[in-house]
């Protein structure tokens, strides 16, 4: 593999067997390879451990998809997800595979807009478009999709998506009272029954305990990476940190955890020697807000091209996914399901009201990451995060934290405007 280019490997026969629109997908494959090379491989001082994650991208639509195909032959359920509320451990306990589906590209948005309204979340349109256009091998490989009710655009789109692929919807409570926790526990139990029916495998207490341990291990590795990013100078770029977090949603968890811990070993040596990917004087930025599904690298690329370094992502793709673990001391199924429910109810999505937990969490992460400013990123028409930015701005003003809120979609049309605003924000931090 050339040091400055990467090829997204082509598997036309496998894609055709899955019903992928191969001719159109080939064009998207080439575009993504070029974009990846320019965004990631042109960086200086990348850790050697990033070679695995580069390889993973080169095989993003090949080797991993082939593993899913083999799993399906063994009657292991392959479940597509869009949200960190998915009880991932239950899928793994049933011998299944949990896959984060595509939703971060502008390419299939026009396909979705032939059916869906234009003025809804780009992530919802992108994900739906990938399926109706048949240009995502993962979407074509899953047995069914896990949907949830975190936003209006999603929960109504699931009704239409169910026409294309079986879509199971779980009710996410919008408050965190005891009655809401009880509702969520019942939803988790129902989901367990559904997975058992789909897989033909009754989940035992040992199955669930092993799955909890496995996914906790993945989250611990991500926590370790996040702690290492808090050092000055940063031992790894924000772009590479984001890429790793994105890959966590579709790679094999055992393999991913091992490779990430290997990388963290390397980063620890960098920290000890004071070696960084950017000068210590680089403005340190924490990103908060909506998730950045692969291949959405726009904000990180702009910030780091302008001389900043991103050191934390408070989002569903970032700390919201891995900051909390499940107690591994559960002795029986009921206790483990209760502990699992408790862990997932700690997720501070903006769908909740009131949501004081998230405001406090953002400020806490800002301090822990040694950031110097918060960039609040919101996808267009994501009303909950857009409105919650008002309270977050107020909290930052109270704490004296530099704050910038931006709203965007997946198109490149606003890059110039974003660059101007972000450049001024970085200059403000440099002058402070």
* Residue pair 90/208 in contact by the 8 Å Cβ criterion: yes
Separation of alpha carbons 363 and 372, rounded Å = 12
Q: What share of the chain is helix, strand, coil (3-state, %, to 5)?
A: 55, 10, 35
Could you tell me the CA-to-CA distances from 113 to 43, 66, 100, 124, 159 in Å, in that order?
Answer: 35, 31, 22, 11, 16
Give alpha helix (H) positions in 3-121: 12-17, 22-36, 50-58, 63-73, 88-93, 109-113
Domain positions in the chain are 12-222
* Residue pair 222/245 in contact by the 8 Å Cβ criterion: yes
Q: Give bridge partners of residue 98 from the DSSP assignment.
A: 79
pLDDT number for residue 432 = 83
State residue 377 phi and psi, 5-degree precision: -105, 130
pLDDT number for residue 300 = 98
Q: Half-sphere exposure of residue 372, counting CA atoms within 13 Å on the CB side?
A: 18
CATH 3.40.50.150 is held by the domain 12-222: no
Direct distance between the N- and C-terminal alpha carbons of the chain, in angstroms, rounded to an integer = 43
pLDDT number for residue 5 = 86
Q: Over its length of 432 residues, how does the chain's per-residue pLDDT go in tens digits?
A: 445 789 999 999 999 999 999 999 999 998 999 999 999 999 999 999 999 999 999 999 999 999 999 999 999 999 999 999 989 999 999 999 999 997 899 999 999 999 999 999 999 999 999 999 999 999 999 999 999 999 999 999 999 999 999 999 999 999 999 999 999 999 999 999 999 999 999 999 999 999 999 999 999 999 999 999 999 999 999 999 999 999 999 999 999 999 999 999 999 999 999 999 999 999 999 999 999 999 999 999 999 999 999 999 999 999 999 999 999 987 799 999 999 999 999 999 999 999 999 999 999 999 999 999 999 999 999 999 999 999 999 999 999 999 999 999 999 999 999 999 999 999 999 998
Instruction: Put the strands of the sheet holding 97-100 in their side by side order.
Output: 97-100, 78-81, 144-148, 167-170
Separation of alpha carbons 294 and 249, rounded Å = 10
pLDDT number for residue 1 = 42
274 burial (CB, 10 Å; 0-12 / 13-18 / 19+) is exposed
């Amino acid at each position: 593999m050339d040091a400055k280019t990467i090829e997204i490997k082509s598997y036309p026969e496998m894609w055709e067997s899955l019903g992928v629109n191969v001719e159109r997908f080939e064009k998207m494959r080439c575009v993504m390879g070029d974009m990846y090379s320019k965004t990631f491989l042109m960086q200086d001082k990348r850790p050697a451990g990033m070679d695995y994650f580069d390889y993973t991208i080169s095989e993003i639509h090949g080797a991993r998809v082939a593993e899913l195909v083999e799993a399906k032959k063994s009657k292991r359920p392959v479940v597509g997800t869009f949200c960190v509320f998915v009880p991932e451990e239950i899928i793994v306990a049933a011998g299944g595979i949990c896959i984060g589906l595509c939703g971060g590209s502008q390419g299939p948005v026009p396909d979705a807009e032939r059916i869906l309204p234009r003025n809804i979340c780009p992530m919802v349109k992108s994900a739906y478009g990938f399926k109706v256009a048949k240009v995502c091998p993962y979407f074509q490989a899953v047995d069914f999709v896990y949907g949830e009710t975190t936003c209006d655009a999603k929960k109504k789109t699931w009704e239409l998506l169910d026409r294309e692929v079986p879509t199971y919807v779980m009710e996410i409570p919008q408050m965190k009272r005891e009655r809401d926790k009880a509702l969520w526990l019942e939803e988790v139990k129902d989901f367990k029954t559904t997975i058992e029916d789909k897989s033909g495998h009754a989940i035992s207490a040992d199955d669930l305990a092993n799955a909890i341990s496995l996914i906790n291990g993945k989250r611990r590795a991500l926590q370790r990476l996040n702690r290492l990013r808090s050092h000055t100078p940063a031992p790894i770029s924000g772009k590479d940190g984001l890429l790793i977090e994105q890959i966590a949603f579709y790679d094999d968890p055992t393999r991913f955890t091992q490779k990430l811990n290997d990388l963290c070993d390397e980063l620890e040596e960098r920290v000890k020697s004071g070696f960084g990917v950017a000068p210590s004087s680089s403005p340190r930025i924490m990103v908060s807000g909506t998730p950045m599904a692969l291949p959405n690298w726009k904000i990180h690329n702009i910030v780091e091209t302008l001389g900043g370094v991103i050191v934390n992502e408070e989002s569903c793709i970032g700390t919201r996914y891995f900051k909390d673990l499940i107690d591994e001391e559960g002795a029986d199924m009921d206790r483990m399901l209760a502990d699992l429910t408790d862990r997932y109810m700690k997720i501070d999505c903006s769908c909740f009201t009131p949501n004081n937990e998230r405001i406090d969490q953002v400020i806490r992460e800002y301090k822990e990451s040694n950031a110097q400013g918060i960039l609040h990123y919101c996808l267009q028409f994501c009303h909950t995060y857009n409105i919650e930015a008002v309270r977050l701005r107020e909290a930052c003003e109270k704490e004296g934290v530099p704050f910038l809120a931006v709203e965007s979609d997946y198109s490149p049309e606003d890059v110039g405007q974003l660059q101007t605003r972000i450049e001024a924000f970085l200059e403000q931090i440099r002058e402070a």
